[in-house]
């Protein structure tokens, strides 16, 4: 009797489990069919197999594939990365802006990579709801005291970097990429942590560790189940822990130096490292890009130098404070960011709801939405026939010459800067709900650096470094120009 009662209970449990698992699988299957049906109206190349177009992407560059697809299928195209992974690419300027406002979430992969490497953080995570509050706080902070700090390039940074560059010059020039990383890292570090950062003896170890982690972050983040069984993973985690300890040590030193500005803004360590990571990599890419453009466009370099001299004469202030009045310098920064953005794609998704666009397109929830910024920013329809040429003047407006003859310099063309964010297809800092909140700080810091640098030095290509190859892919996220060797020549 007891045995048959036990059997009946076992049967009941088995039935309930079977029904639950079947229901779960049916829901999953229904979701997959739902995704296929919703994705059908979006144009795109026919699927070669059940596994989609994944094999195409492993063989060639995604931007190239998207370029060909947009040419053939129009401004919105889909690709299947697997039976349940839909990628939708958008190339139309108006739709891009609509999508970047409406799709507020980021891909879970990005958040996972950051969390795995730097620990808990409320920045750079997938869900907009979780990031919104921190974004607002940080935006206020970056726009205030930190923005002021970014404009003042401490002599210490400048002198030590130039000293390194001079030493390297005697050995045949310094790699553009190497010096750009040192410059970006020092500017951002001293902006966030203050002067303590510049005299911190472990800064170099910190930079090297950050770069080491940058190389592997996406790879380990791409595992949906953390690979605890791999030895390399534990070595990676060890580097991450060392970086965390170093950041805590630095933060402690800042607090002991009574730097109240610092402790207010960034308490959790993960956020500090995430900002240093993203900020120094992207700023280094832009600095390297500008240096390369300047050594290959000496006429522009001379024009900026005249502007710096003029700004010093007219306003009688140090050049660090004057970058807002240097349209040609700012235009060079923006034009470099247009031609080679820090990443070739902007990525978004809408985790919970389908996106209904004004033109009638429906993008299913969970689809990977990408904007191929590099294609959009070099489109001849929007940027003109010279879209692929370096021409900072597209960001400059001629204005009335300065009336005070005593103050103005002969031959100086008066001009002002156009507002770059008003250009329809200018997206190096993203756009909409998840746009970069460090844009002002980065542009101000980099422009001040170049105002200081070009005021005292000419930058030239090391002879023999002229024939450099094509752009290369780096660290999974950065597409840098080839790194030419450059030299700094002191102006007389």
198 contacts: CB under 8 Å, gap ≥ 6: 154, 156, 157, 186, 189, 190
Asked if 420 touches ligand HEM (CB under 6 A), the answer is: no
Shortest spacing between CB 118 and ligand HEM, in angstroms:
13
Asked if 282 touches ligand HEM (CB under 6 A), the answer is: yes
Asked if 293 touches ligand HEM (CB under 6 A), the answer is: no
- Burial-class residue 232 by CB neighbours within 10 Å (0-12, 13-18, 19+): exposed
Please say which residue, 35 or 116, places its beta carbon nearer to ligand HEM.
116
Contact with ligand HEM (CB under 6 A) among 52, 221, 270, 279: 279
User: Residue 313 has which token pair?
Assistant: 């004469």
What would the 3-class secondary structure string for 442-492 be?
Answer: HHHHHHHHHHHHHHHEEEEECCCCCCCCCCEEECCCEEECCCCEEEEEECC
Cα angle for residues 88, 91, 96 (degrees, 5° grid): 85
Contact with ligand HEM (CB under 6 A) among 395, 431, 450, 488: 431
Shortest spacing between CB 453 and ligand HEM, in angstroms:
16
φ and ψ at 484, to 5 degrees? -75, 160
Segment 183 to 242, residues that bind ligand HEM, using CB under 6 A: 188
Segment 435 to 454, residues that bind ligand HEM, using CB under 6 A: 435-438, 441-442
Shortest spacing between CB 347 and ligand HEM, in angstroms:
7
Closest by CA position to 173, among listed 484, 490, 491, 492? 484
Please say which residue, 362 or 436, places its beta carbon nearer to ligand HEM.
436
Contact with ligand HEM (CB under 6 A) among 114, 429, 450, 488: 429
Please say which residue, 34 or 143, places its beta carbon nearer to ligand HEM.
143
The answer to whether 45 touches 53, Cβ cutoff 8 Å, is yes
User: Residue 477 has which token pair?
Assistant: 């996220």
Please say which residue, 35 or 340, places its beta carbon nearer to ligand HEM.
340
Please say which residue, 326 or 487, places its beta carbon nearer to ligand HEM.
326
Sign (positive/negative) of CA torsion 186, 187, 189, 190?
A: positive
Asked if 301 touches ligand HEM (CB under 6 A), the answer is: no
Asked if 283 touches ligand HEM (CB under 6 A), the answer is: yes
Shortest spacing between CB 398 and ligand HEM, in angstroms:
27
Shortest spacing between CB 143 and ligand HEM, in angstroms:
11
Shortest spacing between CB 179 and ligand HEM, in angstroms:
16
φ and ψ at 472, to 5 degrees? -130, 160
φ and ψ at 218, to 5 degrees? -70, -35
Asked if 338 touches ligand HEM (CB under 6 A), the answer is: no
d(CA 6, CA 4): 5
Shortest spacing between CB 450 and ligand HEM, in angstroms:
13
φ and ψ at 147, to 5 degrees? -65, -40
Shortest spacing between CB 93 and ligand HEM, in angstroms:
15
Q: Considering only the stretches 19-27, 220-228, 415-423, 426-434, report the one whose residues sit in contact with ligand HEM under the rule CB under 6 A.
A: 426-434
Please say which residue, 193 or 319, places its beta carbon nearer to ligand HEM.
193
Asked if 346 touches ligand HEM (CB under 6 A), the answer is: yes
Shortest spacing between CB 59 and ligand HEM, in angstroms:
26
Q: Which region, left, alpha or beta, applies to residue 442 given φ > 0 means left and ψ of -120 to 50 means alpha?
A: alpha
Asked if 111 touches ligand HEM (CB under 6 A), the answer is: no
Give per-residue burial for 457-492: e unless 16+ CB within 10 Å, then b. Answer: bbbbbbeebeeeeeeeeeeebbbbbebbbbbbeeee
Please say which residue, 80 or 431, places its beta carbon nearer to ligand HEM.
431
Asked if 487 touches ligand HEM (CB under 6 A), the answer is: no
The answer to whether 443 touches 333, Cβ cutoff 8 Å, is yes
Count of residues binding ligand HEM (CB under 6 A)?
Answer: 26
Segment 128 to 147, residues that bind ligand HEM, using CB under 6 A: 131, 135
The answer to whether 444 touches 323, Cβ cutoff 8 Å, is yes
Q: Considering only the stretches 231-239, 290-298, 304-312, 432-440, report the one whose residues sit in contact with ligand HEM under the rule CB under 6 A.
A: 432-440
Segment 257 to 276, residues that bind ligand HEM, using CB under 6 A: 275
- DSSP of 176-197, one letter per residue? HHHHHHHHHHHHHHHHHH-THH
User: Residue 101 has which token pair?
Assistant: 């406002």
Is 254 among the annotated ligand-binding positions? no
Shortest spacing between CB 350 and ligand HEM, in angstroms:
13
The answer to whether 371 touches 90, Cβ cutoff 8 Å, is yes
Binding residues for heme: 436
Q: What is the binding site for ligand HEM (CB under 6 A)?
A: 100, 106, 123-124, 131, 135, 188, 275, 278-279, 282-283, 286, 342, 346, 428-431, 434-438, 441-442
């Amino acid at each position: 009797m007891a045995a048959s009662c036990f059997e009946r209970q076992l049967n009941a449990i088995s039935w309930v489990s079977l029904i639950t698992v079947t229901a779960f699988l049916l829901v999953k299957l229904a979701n997959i069919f739902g995704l296929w049906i919703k994705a059908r109206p979006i144009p795109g190349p026919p699927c070669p197999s059940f596994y989609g177009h994944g094999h195409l992407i492993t063989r060639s560059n995604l931007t190239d594939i998207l370029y060909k697809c947009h040419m053939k299928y129009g401004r919105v195209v889909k690709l299947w990365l697997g039976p349940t992974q839909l990628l939708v690419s958008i190339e139309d300027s108006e739709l891009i802006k609509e999508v970047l406002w409406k799709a507020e979430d980021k891909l879970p992969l990005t958040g996972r990579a950051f969390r795995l490497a730097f620990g808990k953080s409320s920045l750079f995570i997938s869900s907009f709801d979780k990031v919104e509050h921190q974004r607002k706080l940080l935006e206020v902070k970056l726009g205030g005291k930190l923005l002021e700090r970014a404009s003042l390039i401490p002599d210490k940074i400048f002198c030590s970097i130039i000293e390194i560059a001079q030493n390297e010059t005697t050995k045949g020039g310094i790699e553009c990429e190497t010096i750009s990383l040192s410059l970006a890292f020092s500017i951002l570090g001293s902006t966030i942590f203050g002067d303590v950062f510049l005299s911190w003896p472990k800064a170099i170890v910190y930079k090297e560790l950050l770069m080491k982690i940058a190389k592997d972050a996406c790879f380990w983040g791409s595992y949906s189940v953390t690979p605890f069984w791999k030895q390399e993973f534990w070595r990676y985690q060890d580097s991450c822990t060392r970086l965390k300890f170093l950041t805590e040590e630095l933060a402690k030193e800042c607090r002991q130096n009574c730097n109240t500005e610092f402790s207010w803004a960034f308490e959790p360590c993960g956020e500090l490292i995430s900002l240093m990571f993203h900020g120094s990599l992207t700023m280094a890419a832009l600095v390297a890009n500008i240096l390369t453009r300047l050594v290959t466009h000496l006429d522009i370099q001379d024009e900026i130098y005249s502007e710096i001299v003029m700004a010093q004469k007219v306003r009688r202030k140090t050049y660090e404070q004057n970058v807002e009045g240097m349209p040609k310098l700012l235009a060079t920064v923006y034009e470099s960011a247009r031609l080679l953005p820090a990443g070739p794609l902007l990525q978004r998704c809408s985790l919970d709801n389908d996106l209904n666009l004004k033109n009638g397109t429906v993008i299913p929830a969970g689809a990977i939405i990408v904007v191929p910024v590099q294609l959009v920013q070099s489109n001849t329809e929007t940027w003109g026939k010279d879209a692929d040429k370096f021409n900072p003047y597209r960001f400059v407006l001629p204005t009335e010459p300065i009336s005070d003859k005593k103050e103005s310099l002969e031959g100086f063309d008066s001009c002002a800067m156009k507002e770059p964010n008003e250009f329809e297809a200018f997206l190096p800092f993203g756009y909409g709900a998840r746009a970069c909140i460090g844009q002002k700080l980065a542009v101000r810091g980099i422009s001040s650096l170049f105002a200081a640098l070009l005021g005292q030095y000419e930058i030239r290509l090391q002879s023999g470094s002229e024939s450099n190859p094509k752009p290369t892919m780096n660290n999974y996220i950065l597409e840098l120009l080839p790194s030419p060797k450059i030299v700094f020549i002191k102006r007389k």
